[in-house]
């Protein structure tokens, strides 16, 4: 075989190997979500790629058979056609064989493997949809060989108890990683990134992290006079107020809307807190529900206000639809005083009732120890101090100093959090 003929054959083998190599990587690494989008846009070949990814055994067998056959054939041609010329040049058969092997192998590694695979990595979906039909044809041609090797491989995997089914389930961690990458690339805006994070947090945050706690609930006894009710409604910014018997939250009869009550007073109607036309039944939810579950409850019942009770049927707080949505929207819609105020680059003033998730996000801490045992930064301080906290109590964690600035009736009102120097 002449050198020209051998070169042509090697060129053809390199091209064939390049096509198979790029197809292998493209079909294996094509993203499922991107392929599904392409299929919805009318690219039917994307469905073939998805089907091949679910059952990759035949495809992998064809690729390995083709690549090994091409590599062996290229070695034979290189040895028989190129070595004689190199032997004449070097005058040594061993040296000619070694140089021939190095040259042919280097050309194959560069042009038949490295470059095609790098190209396939950067254009995996586009190459996958173009090459899936030729690969299906090759699978059909080599069906007998595939049946032998694929069957043997499946039998061995089954014997070893190893599953070869591709798992493409998307987890919340995967979505977080995609969002972070999109934010870094500028595809997702900062506000959009924050909004999506908040939505996922709704699955993990319990209702107690954002409720209006029992001690802050403004309520009326059924015997409260109209004048007193009007006075409280004018002073308090709430839209709904619980109504109880015997001045006891555990004997709640419902709630009254300030708008309805004040409108009746302005129209000089006879009103009292026992009037069924004014009192609406309250929705009760357990304190173990997540914010997402509370939102679903609001949606199914049509309510926007709920009373939160614990396992002992004691009222621990109330929550509104606005409270839930404020967690979703964050600072995009929150107009009231912020619970976390950054004073300097390295210090923050934090309200004691601030949810621990908000503190973690603001400070950039990965996590706080045993966070399942508390909901707020006050709970964190109490857990770490192992006592009832008092003013000036301080702890240090994750290179931050947490100092209590103000307390009231065993409750932490405000903390100062300071970032310590790295070498401190």
Domain's final residue, options 331, 362, 390: 331
Of 345, 352, 343, 284, nearest in space to 317 by CA: 284
Mean pLDDT over residues 391-408, rounded?
Answer: 92
Is the domain of 100 the same as that of 243? Answer: no
Is the domain of 286 the same as that of 355? Answer: no
pTM: 0.56
Q: What is the pLDDT of residue 335?
A: 45
Q: What is the pLDDT of residue 424?
A: 47
Q: For the range 274-279, what are the long-range contacts, defined as Cβ-Cβ under 8 Å and sequence gap of 24 or more?
A: 274/222, 279/243, 279/253, 279/254, 279/255
Residues 340, 351 contacting (CB under 8 angstroms): yes
Is the domain of 150 the same as that of 28? Answer: yes
pLDDT one-digit tens code per residue, 331-371: 544 445 578 888 888 999 999 988 888 888 888 887 788 88
Of 64, 56, 73, nearest in space to 136 by CA: 56
Is the domain of 237 the same as that of 366? Answer: no
Report yes or no on 147 lying in a domain: yes
Give 158 or 308, the one with higher predicted confidence: 308
Mean pLDDT over residues 304-320, rounded?
Answer: 94
Handedness of CA 382, 387, 392, 396 (dihedral sign): negative
Model confidence at 44: pLDDT above 80: yes
pLDDT one-digit tens code per residue, 73-125: 877 776 676 677 666 666 676 777 777 778 777 887 888 888 888 888 888 88
Is the domain of 82 the same as that of 56? Answer: yes
Report yes or no on 348 lying in a domain: yes
Q: Which domain holds residue 191?
A: 172-201
Model confidence at 57: pLDDT above 80: no
CATH number for the domain that contains residue 235? 3.10.580.10
Report yes or no on 267 lying in a domain: yes
Report yes or no on 166 lying in a domain: no
Give 55 or 43, the one with higher predicted confidence: 43
> What are the φ/ψ torsions at residue 274 (nearest 5 degrees)?
-110, 0
CA distances from 175 to 32, 196, 198 (A): 14, 10, 13
Is the domain of 46 the same as that of 101? Answer: yes
Is the domain of 124 the same as that of 10? Answer: yes
Is the domain of 317 the same as that of 413? Answer: no
Q: What is the pLDDT of residue 381?
A: 93
The total number of structural domains in the chain stands at 4
Domain's final residue, options 297, 331, 365: 331
Give 63 or 422, the one with higher predicted confidence: 63
pLDDT one-digit tens code per residue, 145-190: 878 877 787 788 888 887 666 565 666 666 667 777 766 766 677 6
**Band of pLDDT at residue 31, cut at 50, 70 and 90:** confident
Give 10 or 333, the one with higher predicted confidence: 10
CATH number for the domain that contains residue 375? 3.30.465.10
Report yes or no on 57 lying in a domain: yes
Q: What is the pLDDT of residue 166?
A: 59
Report yes or no on 424 lying in a domain: no
Is the domain of 21 the same as that of 151? Answer: yes
Residue 373 gets which letter from DSSP?
G
Percent of the chain, pLDDT > 90?
Answer: 27
Q: Where are the beta strands (DSSP E) in 160-282?
A: 212-213, 219-221, 240-244, 252-257
Is the domain of 138 the same as that of 184? Answer: no
Domain's final residue, options 291, 307, 331: 331
Q: Which of 276-280, 304-308, 414-418 has the lowest mean pLDDT?
A: 276-280
Is the domain of 245 the same as that of 275? Answer: yes
Report yes or no on 129 lying in a domain: yes
| 181 vs 401: CA distance, rounded Å | 31
Report yes or no on 105 lying in a domain: yes
Model confidence at 41: pLDDT above 50: yes
| 133 vs 131: CA distance, rounded Å | 6
Is the domain of 60 the same as that of 125? Answer: yes
Residue found under tokens 């028989």: 80
Of 72, 56, 70, nearest in space to 24 by CA: 56
């Amino acid at each position: 075989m002449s050198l020209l003929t051998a070169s042509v054959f090697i060129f053809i083998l390199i091209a064939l190997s390049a096509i198979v190599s790029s197809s292998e990587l493209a079909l294996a690494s094509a993203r499922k979500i991107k392929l599904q989008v392409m299929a919805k846009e009318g690219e039917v070949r994307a469905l073939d790629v998805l089907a091949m990814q679910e059952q990759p055994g035949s495809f992998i067998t064809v690729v390995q058979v083709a690549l090994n056959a091409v590599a062996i054939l290229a070695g034979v041609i290189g040895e028989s056609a190129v070595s004689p010329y190199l032997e004449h040049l070097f005058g040594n058969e061993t040296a000619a064989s070694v140089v021939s092997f190095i040259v042919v192998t280097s050309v194959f590694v560069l042009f038949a493997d490295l470059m095609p695979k790098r190209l396939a990595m950067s254009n995996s979906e586009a190459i996958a949809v173009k090459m899936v039909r030729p690969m299906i044809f090759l699978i059909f041609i080599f069906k007998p060989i595939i049946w032998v090797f694929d069957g043997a491989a499946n039998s061995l995997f089954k014997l070893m108890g190893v599953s070869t089914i591709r798992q493409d389930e998307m987890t919340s961690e995967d979505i977080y990683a995609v969002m972070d990458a999109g934010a870094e690339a500028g595809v997702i805006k900062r506000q959009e990134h924050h909004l999506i994070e908040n939505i996922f947090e709704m699955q993990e945050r319990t209702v107690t992290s954002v409720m209006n706690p029992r001690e802050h609930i403004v309520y009326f006894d059924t015997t409260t006079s109209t004048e007193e009710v009007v006075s409280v409604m004018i002073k308090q910014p709430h839209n709904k107020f619980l109504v109880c018997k015997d001045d006891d939250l555990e004997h709640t009869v419902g709630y009254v809307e300030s708008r309805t009550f004040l409108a009746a007073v302005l129209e000089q109607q006879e009103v009292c807190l026992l009037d069924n036309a004014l009192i609406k039944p309250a929705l009760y939810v357990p304190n173990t529900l997540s914010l997402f579950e509370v939102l679903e409850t609001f949606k199914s019942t049509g309510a926007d206000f709920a009373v939160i009770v614990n396992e002992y049927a004691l009222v621990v707080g109330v929550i509104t639809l606005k409270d839930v949505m404020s967690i979703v929207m964050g600072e995009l819609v929150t107009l009231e005083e912020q619970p976390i105020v950054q004073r300097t680059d390295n210090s923050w003033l934090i309200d004691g009732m601030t949810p621990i998730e908000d503190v973690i996000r603001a400070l950039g801490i990965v996590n706080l120890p045993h966070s399942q045992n508390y909901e707020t930064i006050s709970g964190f301080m109490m857990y770490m101090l192992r006592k009832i906290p008092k003013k000036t109590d301080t702890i240090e964690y994750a290179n931050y100093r947490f100092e209590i600035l103000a307390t009231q009736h065993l409750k932490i009102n405000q903390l100062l959090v300071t970032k310590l120097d790295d070498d401190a």
